[in-house]
């Protein structure tokens, strides 16, 4: 791939030193180094999984004898073979079910055979006797103390210290906010809005389904090759579940063919390792069919949200009281943290003096809720930002002006009691509104159509533990070229490009001298928590920068000793060490491996240069479990605004997005073109969930697990006019001031479209998706059409 050289200029570094500034707007890449494609040969075996047909049932017996007798079957595995638990924040799941099944698709047994077809045939011969139990199919009802228990042993599970499960209930986490005095604030309000929204499950639908190959050698060492956003987390969680050393668990993860959160953590990967443990020395391949992808991998959690908010006659928000019931599904190892993120973000991007919020993660007998782009924020903002529009209308204030009045600004007091870091949210609002032509009505494309404009704003923090870390190494080669080691994963967002840019800038070499080592391999790559939470540019970027600066320091120390100069008088520019004092210069070639001879000929100085860097935030504090108040709840927030213009067909109810604008404050755009691509992709994915997507469940059974019945947006649905605007308010702890923007563009799209639909037809459709049928029936009910 062609690369372009980045011009550099000197700017003060955040810690007082000087590094070259990244100022290119071209898409630049550092090529990745990959091992040859692995040929598993004729020894490769294939696994298929027997899954529960019931949403909730006890397992009375499993008979695998007939399946094991099928010619070509090599092994049959059940939950009796593995007793360890899996889970990131809450360990609540066996690898294979042991006592009960909790959703349609729960893995009950595995078959390994010489072909997928034979394995599939053998699955049909496994006889499982179930005793059906009453399922929990609604999170709000599931939170009731009288609801059937999905996890009777919840009180015995291992859980992260910032997650608060309620034993003997279905509530696996309850996050509370108690700020100010909400009860006394209502009487001071000139207007109050109360609404309820039900946000459906959606599926990530990556182009590449989940697929892995696992092998356990005769010595017990495990190698897992797979499409993964979280190779190090998979190593950790699977090793714990199998009670093996982390040194004996290796995960190799090439480029990912689409993730959006679905390939974070562990979903089906442990199944492959478990069956491979029964056939040591043989690689075993397990893949999800497209149908399985829809409901046996992670889905985005559903949400039942209650919002109540009020303001004074001048439009100043005075109080909010919100209840969020997250449909976490059968297992909530990730869902508990989605509920936590919903809790500490429950006010939306507004300064509100009085807030009461309860965010519940609730077990149901639905597919497993997990991380998806936005991590709960699209679901929460979908209703909250519609309520803001309604409240503005109630006091006769323009919705954009209402947001200008109330949005978070630098120094605002957050819902958790923390102070807001520098933010350009107000600028994002102004730029998005201006770009969409706010206040100017556009004529419709036909007499039977109506046009409207809507705007919504957002905030989102990286939802992660307080001590999620990153590491990197930077190694120089004989010719001065640079290899960068990272543990973050390339999933199409361009993180390898950004890593190469940062290393080149911090070290002082041309971008085309830099290569990023891959694939990510837990045996050789430096540690990275996970490729989630839009955190890699910020967290891994800091580690890469620190590794490059470490290598730079080593080089300058060597040259300074030989030249008898102060390292502070030296610099590296375009791959040469230069002295601002003596004006000497020397290329990095050879010296970064072989060193330099001493001037008096008595020996050499230096040797192979390998820089090391790490980063972990150390300043996130705990929050009071009863009030949610604390000094610093998260590392930072990315903020932004989106505005859309839609056209509604009065005869069919079809909603078409005519154009859109998106403005986000990402601190500093390391690669503006990649940042804009992320905004465009997130915007279109937001359109998809606003207009089309819903995983339909009937009594816990998926009704549309295929692209025939599950509609997603295509290029034909994307607005032909989409303007992306970058706002830059530097982040104090970000490399060159950067913070992430990968997930955020998907957050405000649903309410922006909902608000635009209302502007067009004067009807609130409510919760997504805003299908033609739903919009048309809403117009009929409101008397807009007959």
* pLDDT tens track for 508-561: 999 999 999 999 999 999 999 999 999 999 999 999 999 999 999 999 999 999
Q: What CA–CA distance (Å, rounded) separates 345 from 340?
A: 9
Pair 637, 460: CB distance under 8 Å: yes
CA dihedral 645, 650, 655, 660 (to 10 degrees): -10
Residue 134, pLDDT > 70, answer yes
Residue 685, pLDDT > 50, answer yes
Phi, psi of 172 (to 5 degrees): -90, -10
pLDDT tens for each residue of 323-333: 999 999 999 99
Q: What CA–CA distance (Å, rounded) separates 447 from 470?
A: 57
Residue 251, pLDDT > 70, answer yes
Low-confidence winner among 244-253, 613-622, 715-724, 746-755 (lowest mean pLDDT): 715-724
Position 78 scores a pLDDT of 98
Mean pLDDT of 732-754: 97
End-to-end CA distance of the chain: 58
| CA proximity to 330, closest of 359, 377, 296, 360 | 296
Mean pLDDT of 77-95: 97
DSSP for 52-71 reads: -SSSSEEEEEEE-HHHHTST
Fold match flag (2-32+468-615 vs 302-464+622-782):
yes
Q: Which residues pair with 403 in a beta bridge?
A: none
Q: Side-chain half-sphere of 169: how many Cα atoms within 13 Å?
A: 17
Mean pLDDT of 441-451: 96
Specify the CATH architecture of the domain 35-133+210-287. Answer: Alpha-Beta Complex (3.90)
Position 25 scores a pLDDT of 36
User: Of all helices (H) and strands (E), which one includes residue 539?
Assistant: helix 539-563
Pick among 3.90.1640.10, 3.40.190.10, 3.30.365.10, 3.30.1180.10: CATH of 2-32+468-615: 3.30.365.10
Position 477 scores a pLDDT of 98
Mean pLDDT of 207-212: 96
Q: Per-residue confidence at 16, pLDDT binned at 50, 70, 90?
A: very low
DSSP for 736-780 reads: GG----SSGGGSSHHHHHHHHHHHHHS----SSP--HHHHHHHHH
Q: Which residues pair with 472 in a beta bridge?
A: 486, 613
DSSP type of residue 367? S
Residue 35, pLDDT > 90, answer no
Residue 472, pLDDT > 50, answer yes
Topology annotation, domain 302-464+622-782: Aldehyde Oxidoreductase; domain 4 (3.30.365)
Q: What CA–CA distance (Å, rounded) separates 608 from 475?
A: 8
Q: Per-residue confidence at 22, pLDDT binned at 50, 70, 90?
A: very low
Residue 19, pLDDT > 60, answer no
Q: Per-residue confidence at 32, pLDDT binned at 50, 70, 90?
A: very low
Mean pLDDT rounded to a whole number for the chain = 94
Q: Per-residue confidence at 47, pLDDT binned at 50, 70, 90?
A: very high
Domain ranges of the chain: 2-32+468-615, 35-133+210-287, 302-464+622-782
Position 20 scores a pLDDT of 37
Position 9 scores a pLDDT of 30
Position 786 scores a pLDDT of 87
Q: Per-residue confidence at 2, pLDDT binned at 50, 70, 90?
A: very low
pLDDT tens for each residue of 641-661: 999 999 999 999 999 999 999
Q: Per-residue confidence at 572, pLDDT binned at 50, 70, 90?
A: very high
Q: Per-residue confidence at 7, pLDDT binned at 50, 70, 90?
A: very low
Q: Is 738 exposed, middle or buried (0-12, 13-18, 19+ CB in 10 A)?
A: buried
Position 718 scores a pLDDT of 85
Residue 27, pLDDT > 80, answer no
Q: What CA–CA distance (Å, rounded) separates 524 from 527?
A: 9
Q: Per-residue confidence at 39, pLDDT binned at 50, 70, 90?
A: confident
């Amino acid at each position: 791939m062609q690369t372009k050289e980045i011009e550099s200029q000197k700017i003060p570094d955040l810690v007082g030193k000087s590094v070259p500034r990244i100022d290119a707007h071209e898409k630049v890449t550092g090529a990745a180094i990959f091992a040859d494609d692995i040929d598993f040969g004729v020894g490769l075996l294939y696994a298929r999984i027997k899954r529960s047909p019931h949403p909730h049932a006890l397992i009375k017996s499993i008979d695998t004898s007939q399946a094991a007798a099928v010619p070509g079957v090599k092994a049959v595995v059940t939950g009796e073979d593995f007793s360890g638990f899996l889970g990131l924040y809450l360990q609540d799941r066996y690898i294979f079910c042991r006592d009960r099944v909790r959703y349609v698709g729960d893995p009950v047994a595995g078959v390994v055979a010489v072909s997928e077809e034979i394995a599939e045939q053998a699955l049909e011969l496994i006889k499982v006797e179930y005793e059906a139990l009453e399922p929990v199919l609604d999170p709000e009802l599931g939170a009731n103390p009288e609801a059937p228990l999905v996890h009777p042993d919840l009180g015995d599970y291992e859980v992260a210290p910032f997650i608060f499960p309620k034993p003997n209930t279905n509530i696996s986490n309850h996050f509370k906010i108690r700020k100010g005095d909400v009860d006394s604030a209502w009487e001071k309000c000139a207007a109050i809005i109360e609404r309820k929204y039900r946000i459906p499950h959606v599926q990530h639908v990556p182009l590449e389904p989940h697929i892995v190959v696992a092998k356990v050698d005769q010595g017990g060492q495990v190698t897992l090759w797979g499409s993964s956003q979280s190779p190090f987390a998979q190593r950790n969680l699977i090793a714990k579940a199998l009670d093996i050393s982390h040194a004996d668990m290796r995960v190799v993860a090439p480029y990912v063919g689409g993730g959006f959160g679905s390939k974070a953590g562990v979903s089906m990967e442990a199944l492959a390792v478990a069956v491979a443990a029964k056939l040591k020395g043989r690689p075993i391949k397990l893949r999800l069919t497209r149908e399985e992808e829809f409901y046996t991998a992670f889905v985005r959690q559903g949400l039942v949200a209650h919002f109540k908010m009020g303001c004074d006659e001048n439009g100043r928000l005075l109080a909010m009281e919100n209840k969020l019931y997250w449909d976490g599904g059968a297992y909530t190892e990730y869902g508990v943290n989605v509920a936590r993120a919903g809790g500490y973000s429950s006010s939306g991007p507004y300064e509100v003096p009085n807030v009461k919020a309860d965010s519940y993660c609730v077990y149901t007998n639905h597919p497993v809720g997990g991380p998806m782009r936005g991590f709960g924020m699209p679901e929460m903002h979908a209703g909250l930002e519609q309520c803001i529009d309604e409240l503005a209308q109630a006091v006769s204030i323009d919705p954009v002006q209402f947001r200008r009045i109330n949005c978070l600004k630098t120094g605002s007091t957050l819902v958790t009691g923390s102070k807001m870091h520098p933010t350009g949210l107000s600028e994002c609002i102004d730029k998005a509104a201006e770009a969409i032509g706010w206040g100017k009505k556009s004529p419709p494309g036909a007499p039977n159509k109506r046009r409207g404009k809507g705007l919504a704003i957002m905030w989102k923090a990286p939802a992660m533990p307080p001590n999620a870390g990153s590491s990197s190494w930077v190694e120089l080669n004989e010719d001065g070229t640079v290899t960068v080691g990272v543990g973050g994963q390339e999933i199409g967002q361009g993180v390898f490009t950004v890593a190469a840019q940062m290393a080149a800038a911090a070290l002082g070499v041309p971008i085309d001298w830099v290569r990023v080592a891959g694939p990510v391999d837990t045996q050789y790559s430096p540690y990275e928590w996970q490729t989630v939470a839009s955190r890699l540019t910020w967290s891994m970027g800091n580690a890469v920068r620190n590794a490059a600066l470490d290598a730079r320091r080593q080089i300058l120390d060597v040259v300074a000793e030989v030249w008898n100069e102060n390292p502070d008088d030296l610099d590296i520019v375009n791959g040469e060490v230069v002295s601002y004092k003596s004006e000497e210069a020397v290329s990095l070639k050879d010296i970064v491996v072989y060193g330099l001879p001493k001037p008096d000929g008595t020996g050499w100085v230096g040797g192979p240069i390998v820089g090391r860097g790490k980063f972990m935030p150390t300043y996130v504090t705990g929050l009071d479990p009863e009030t949610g108040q604390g000094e610093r709840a998260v590392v930072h927030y990315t903020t932004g605004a989106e505005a859309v213009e839609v056209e509604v067909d009065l005869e069919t109810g079809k909603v078409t997005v005519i154009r859109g604008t998106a403005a986000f404050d990402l601190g500093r755009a390391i690669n503006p073109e990649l940042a804009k691509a992320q905004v465009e992709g997130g915007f279109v994915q937001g359109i998809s969930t606003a207009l089309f997507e819903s995983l339909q469940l009937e009594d816990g059974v998926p009704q549309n697990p295929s692209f025939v019945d599950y509609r997603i947006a295509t290029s034909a649905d994307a607005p032909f006019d989409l303007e992306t605007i970058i706002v830059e308010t530097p982040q104090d702890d970000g490399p060159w001031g950067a913070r992430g923007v990968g997930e955020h563009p998907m957050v405000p799209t649903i309410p922006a479209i909902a608000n635009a639909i209302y502007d067009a037809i004067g009807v609130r459709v409510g919760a997504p998706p805003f299908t033609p049928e739903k919009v048309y029936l809403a117009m009929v009910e409101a008397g807009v059409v007959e």
